[in-house]
């Protein structure tokens, strides 16, 4: 039934967007659109956009700008924007980019086929950005699989690991964050759906799943009668327990966790569930109580340190990574120092660090006490230098140790080398046969770098 049509998707932003791109590719594949890596060969191009920081938003605008040339050459080419900038700007995007055909909001991806028909048959340009909060339609298409094993859509190129949405949206309104405005209210996906999807994935050879959502700790077990409780604190641990029993699956991860909602039950799950990887991403944002309050994060420095201690008690080898923001309005030198010394105190395995970026209409974008750009850069450099040393020391501490690696594929640089990850989520490269892809392999770490480790098979 192939109609020879090709789809190109460029994805910006977080795993939610990666997952949505994969979902849109699946939906379009059921209409015989095959994925391509070359925009010049595509019949439909989608830019899946992100607006978390100004610089990311700019990149998505540049990507949309580059499409002008392609459309001029091939007017029949259909161009669409999806994701968070699409949600935020709606119709305005059609005005700003007169060659754009389609704007698909974050809750509307499942309507892609119908919208495409409108564009093609009625020659109309469309923008749909309604929120479907509470409407189960928003999870439509989540279980679709891409049948073509060669598809190079993000996350699908990798047959070993998969992302599985368990909740969407966010109700936290951290004062700096655009997500609640562009993703809508928090809604949990039914556990039956999630379990069905993961069983299917495991049957098709997927070995590791990462449960995703903006705030997975507040997963509420929506529509479920298989979980022991729908209480926010115990629903995720309950779900994890059921996933842990799925045959064929080796590893489970979840992201992102909000420190405030990290329950005792969930912490204990790390010591108890053998498939749950010893790694948690626990965004801190700042080590200063004053700034944390301004950010509306709902925890203080001591709360965070206590959770870290509890995690390490439940699972002594657990790796902890985090997000840090510098230059929030009103951040004094002493606040920044609090962040630096918290880094030294916790000694994270890895951090992702950002300069504060004002995002209208968030509260923080209206705060006074703006930190000059050069000062933000100076703080970021200092922060990253401190962490670089910690990461390297931690990685070097692994040399000579044995680790179990889930082999994800062949190395891009050398086909005689394999690449995979430790339980703690570190990238490890080692010589080995292609036939080991998808298997758990014991290795000994031989060399440590900033971002990866080298090893040999035991």
| Residues at the site binding ligand SAH, with contacts judged by CB under 6 A | 52-53, 176-177, 179, 214-215, 256, 258, 283, 285, 323, 325, 354, 356-357, 359
One residue of 15, 48, 49, 172 binding ligand SF4 per CB under 6 A: 172
Nearer to ligand F3S, 16 or 398 (CB): 16
Nearer to ligand SF4, 9 or 14 (CB): 14
Answer yes or no whether residue 364 interacts with ligand SF4 by CB under 6 A.
no
**Contacted entry of ligand SAH, ligand F3S, ligand SF4, none for residue 51, CB cut-off 5 to 8 Å set by kind:** ligand F3S
Minimum distance from residue 78 beta carbon to ligand SAH (Å) = 30
List the one residue out of 257, 229, 227, 258 whose CA is nearest residue 243.
Answer: 227
Answer yes or no whether residue 182 interacts with ligand F3S by CB under 6 A.
yes
Answer yes or no whether residue 53 interacts with ligand SF4 by CB under 6 A.
no
Binding segment for ligand SF4 (CB under 6 A), chosen from 115-123, 138-146, 166-174, 388-396, is 166-174
> How far apart are the C-alpha atoms of 424 and 279, rounded to whole Å?
5
Contact partners, residue 222, CB within 8 Å, separation at least 6:
187, 188, 189, 190, 191, 230
User: Contact, 210 vs 255, CB < 8 A?
Assistant: yes
Minimum distance from residue 180 beta carbon to ligand SF4 (Å) = 5
User: Contact, 68 vs 99, CB < 8 A?
Assistant: yes
The footprint of ligand F3S on residues 220-279 (CB under 6 A) is none
- Strands 187-188 and 167-168 turn out to be antiparallel
User: Contact, 235 vs 188, CB < 8 A?
Assistant: yes
Contact partners, residue 126, CB within 8 Å, separation at least 6:
101, 102, 103, 115, 118, 119
List the one residue out of 146, 257, 272 whose CA is nearest residue 206.
Answer: 146
> How far apart are the C-alpha atoms of 254 and 91, rounded to whole Å?
35
Answer yes or no whether residue 215 interacts with ligand SF4 by CB under 6 A.
yes
Binding segment for ligand F3S (CB under 6 A), chosen from 44-52, 136-144, 232-240, 375-383, is 44-52
Taking the CB of residue 215, how many other CB atoms lie within 10 A of it?
Answer: 19
Answer yes or no whether residue 182 interacts with ligand SF4 by CB under 6 A.
no
**Contacted entry of ligand SF4, ligand SAH, ligand F3S, none for residue 173, CB cut-off 5 to 8 Å set by kind:** ligand SF4
Answer yes or no whether residue 359 interacts with ligand SF4 by CB under 6 A.
no
Minimum distance from residue 171 beta carbon to ligand SAH (Å) = 11
Query: How many chain residues are in contact with ligand F3S, going by CB under 6 A?
Result: 13
List the one residue out of 333, 284, 280 whose CA is nearest residue 310.
Answer: 280
The footprint of ligand SF4 on residues 239-298 (CB under 6 A) is 258
One residue of 9, 14, 216, 252 binding ligand F3S per CB under 6 A: 14
Contacts 24+ apart (CB under 8 A), 259-263: 259/283, 259/284, 259/297, 259/299, 259/303, 259/304, 259/307, 260/297, 260/298, 260/299, 260/303, 261/215, 261/217, 261/218, 261/232, 261/233, 262/217, 262/307, 263/217, 263/232, 263/233, 263/234, 263/236, 263/237
Binding segment for ligand SF4 (CB under 6 A), chosen from 21-29, 175-183, 237-245, 445-453, is 175-183
> How far apart are the C-alpha atoms of 71 and 78, rounded to whole Å?
8
What are the distances in angstroms from CA 408 to CA 141, 247, 411? 25, 19, 9
Minimum distance from residue 359 beta carbon to ligand F3S (Å) = 9
Nearer to ligand SAH, 12 or 356 (CB): 356
**Contacted entry of ligand SF4, ligand F3S, ligand SAH, none for residue 189, CB cut-off 5 to 8 Å set by kind:** none
The DSSP code sequence of 230-267 is: --HHHHHHHHHHHHHT-TT--EEEEE---GGG--HHHH
Q: Which tokens belong to 206?
A: 């997927």
Binding segment for ligand F3S (CB under 6 A), chosen from 46-54, 121-129, 251-259, 411-419, is 46-54
Minimum distance from residue 351 beta carbon to ligand SF4 (Å) = 15
Answer yes or no whether residue 78 interacts with ligand F3S by CB under 6 A.
no
One residue of 84, 179, 320, 443 binding ligand SF4 per CB under 6 A: 179
Q: What share of the chain is helix, strand, coil (3-state, %, to 5)?
A: 40, 20, 40
**Contacted entry of ligand F3S, ligand SF4, ligand SAH, none for residue 45, CB cut-off 5 to 8 Å set by kind:** none
**Contacted entry of ligand SF4, ligand F3S, ligand SAH, none for residue 108, CB cut-off 5 to 8 Å set by kind:** none
Q: Which residues contribute to the site for ligand F3S (CB under 6 A)?
A: 13-14, 16-17, 50-52, 83-84, 178-179, 182-183
Q: Which residues contribute to the site for ligand SF4 (CB under 6 A)?
A: 170, 172-174, 177, 179-180, 214-215, 258
């Amino acid at each position: 039934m192939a109609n020879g049509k090709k789809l190109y998707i460029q994805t910006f932003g977080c795993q939610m967007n990666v997952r949505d791109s994969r979902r849109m590719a699946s939906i379009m594949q059921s209409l015989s659109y095959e994925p391509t890596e070359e925009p010049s060969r595509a019949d439909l191009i989608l830019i899946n956009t992100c607006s978390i920081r100004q610089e990311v938003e700019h990149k998505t605008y540049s990507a949309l700008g580059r499409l002008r040339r392609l459309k001029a050459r091939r007017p029949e080419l259909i161009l669409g924007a999806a994701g968070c900038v699409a949600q935020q700007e709606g119709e305005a995007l059609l005005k700003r980019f007169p060659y754009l055909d389609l704007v698909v909001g974050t809750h509307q991806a499942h309507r892609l086929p119908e919208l495409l028909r409108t564009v093609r048959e009625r020659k109309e340009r469309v923008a749909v950005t309604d929120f479907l909060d509470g409407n189960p339609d928003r999870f439509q298409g989540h279980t679709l699989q891409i049948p073509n094993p060669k598809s190079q859509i993000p996350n699908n190129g990798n047959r070993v690991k998969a992302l599985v949405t368990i909740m969407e949206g966010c109700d936290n309104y951290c004062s700096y964050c655009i997500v609640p405005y562009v993703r809508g209210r928090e809604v949990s996906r039914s556990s039956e759906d999630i379990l069905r999807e993961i069983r299917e994935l495991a049957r098709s050879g997927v070995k590791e799943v990462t449960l995703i959502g903006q705030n997975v700790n507040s997963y509420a077990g929506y529509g479920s009668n298989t979980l022991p409780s729908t209480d926010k604190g115990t629903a995720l641990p309950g779900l994890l327990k059921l996933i842990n029993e799925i045959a064929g699956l080796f590893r489970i991860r979840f992201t992102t966790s909000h420190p405030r909602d990290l329950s005792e039950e969930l912490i204990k799950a790390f010591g108890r569930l053998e498939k749950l990887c010893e790694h948690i991403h626990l965004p801190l944002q700042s080590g200063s109580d004053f700034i944390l309050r301004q950010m509306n994060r709902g925890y203080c420095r001591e709360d965070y340190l206590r959770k870290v201690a509890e995690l390490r008690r439940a699972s002594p080898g657990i790796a902890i990574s985090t997000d840090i923001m510098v230059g929030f309005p009103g951040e004094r030198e002493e606040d920044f120092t609090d962040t630096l010394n918290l880094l030294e105190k916790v000694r994270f395995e890895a951090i992702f660090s950002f300069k504060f970026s004002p995002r209208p209409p968030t509260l923080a974008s209206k705060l006074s006490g703006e930190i000059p750009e050069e000062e933000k850069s100076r703080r970021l450099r200092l922060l990253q230098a401190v962490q670089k040393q910690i990461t390297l020391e931690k990685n070097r501490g692994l040399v000579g140790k044995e680790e179990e690696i889930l082999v994800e594929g062949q190395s891009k640089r050398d086909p005689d080398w394999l690449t995979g990850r430790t339980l703690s989520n570190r990238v490890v490269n080692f010589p080995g046969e292609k036939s080991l892809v998808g298997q758990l392999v014991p290795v000994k770490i031989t060399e440590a770098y900033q971002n990866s480790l080298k090893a040999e098979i035991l």
